[in-house]
Amino acid sequence: MNKVCPGLRFVASYSGGKDSVLAIHRALQSGMTLQALLITYNEDRGRSWFHGIPEDVLAQVSDAIGVPVRLIRTAGADYERNFEQALREERERGAQACVFGDIDIQGHLDWCSARCEAVGMTPCFPLWQENRRALVEEGLRSGFKPQITVVNTKYLDASFVGRPLSFAVLDEMEAAGIDPCGENGEYHSFVADGPIFKHPVRVALEPPMMLDGYAITPIVPRTGPSLEKGCVQVYTGNGKGKTTASMGLMLRAAGAGLKSYFGQFMKKGDMSEIKALRGFLGDFVTVEQYGSGLELSKTDREQDARCARAGYEKAREALLSGRYDLVVLDEINVAAYLHLIEEADILRLIDEKPACTELVLTGRYASEAVRQKAGLVTEMGEIRHYFKDGLPARVGIEK
């Protein structure tokens, strides 16, 4: 059994997940040359076997890595024969070895080795017999960015689907008694960015669905303009204009063809700005409000907290989905100040933010920890306010 084969030209058995990309990365680092990626494709479902990646996303993977992605179109009964035929054809194109991402299941090693030996290719297993968690951690430290796209709900709660894999998530899995590597099929992931990619694969995650005991968030390609790099902005302070500034940013983003999500904590109601967003920017801005009334109910703190917590989960799903270039969470700093959510919740959003998504956090009382993690902090200070002279809020100006 070979771990790597320096100097050999290889094809890789590619699934789209964290183990296969790490195996490819190690092979490349050893001096092997990548010729193509092989992925088995389920024609009946129009997606790859096991990880459920559609063909148009695989085309983007090919462009991002810079080699062909070869679809082995096969049904279950012909799986073995079709895999060998693809290997045979790649050998004729110059491939000498095939790299696999298997770790320690002997049956997998035996099957993969037999396919290679049948066509005269060398099987390579760069990850074989290494510690499962250590391998996941190596991938994260190397810069790969896996997202959980399929969860077997017999072993893992459906709430994990759609989440980016992180050291904290690995801890949660181990605390739940689950193998953090998912080698036994507890979950599958998709990696859209990392050291083997020339640029990130532009994908979005659709809302989760249940199918035969699996929680699945379908992967779809993102089209149109996008940000090359997203930052974190904080608008805070006791002066007027924090929400107004975020609205201006969404207007600018819409002018560039970018998609925005506006999640408003604390409030609920058809204010003028909400009417404008929905009426004039509806093709570019998605609006959701999380409050229990026009503002805080002030009589039912538990209800306010439930609304804020439910809103936080909606906001987090929007941020992680990849469907939006700009995510504005209005008044989230106030919600944390009042402990309707916690500071740790905001810090988690900052840590999990996709690389090409801009995150804007507004509201008074932004904590020092949140300020330190942001790339831009604007504090709006009040010098004079006509409210103190008795002028009420005016439609079109303050509401």
pLDDT score, position 49:
63
Mean pLDDT value of segment 216-225: 88
Confidence of residue 298 (pLDDT cuts 50, 70, 90): low
pTM of the prediction?
0.79
pLDDT score, position 65:
97
Q: Domain 232-389 in CATH: superfamily?
A: P-loop containing nucleotide triphosphate hydrolases (3.40.50.300)
Domain positions in the chain are 9-221, 232-389
pLDDT score, position 299:
66
Instruction: List Cβ neighbours of 274 (8 Å cut-off, separation of 6 or more).
Output: 264, 287, 289
The reply to whether 232-389 shares the fold of 9-221 is yes
Q: Note the pLDDT tens digit of each residue in 116-144.
A: 999 999 999 999 999 999 999 999 999 99
State the Cα–Cα distance between residues 314 and 12, nearest whole angstrom.
37
Is residue 262 within 8 Å of residue 319, measured between CB atoms?
no
- CA atoms 89, 94, 97, 101: torsion sign: negative
pLDDT score, position 225:
86
Asked if pLDDT for residue 46 goes beyond 70, the answer is no
CATH of domain 9-221: 3.40.50.620
| 50: DSSP letter | T
Confidence of residue 294 (pLDDT cuts 50, 70, 90): low
Residues paired with residue 288 on neighbouring β-strands, in sequence order: 263
pLDDT score, position 76:
65
State the Cα–Cα distance between residues 330 and 143, nearest whole angstrom.
31
- Please state, rounded to an integer, the average pLDDT across all residues of the chain: 91
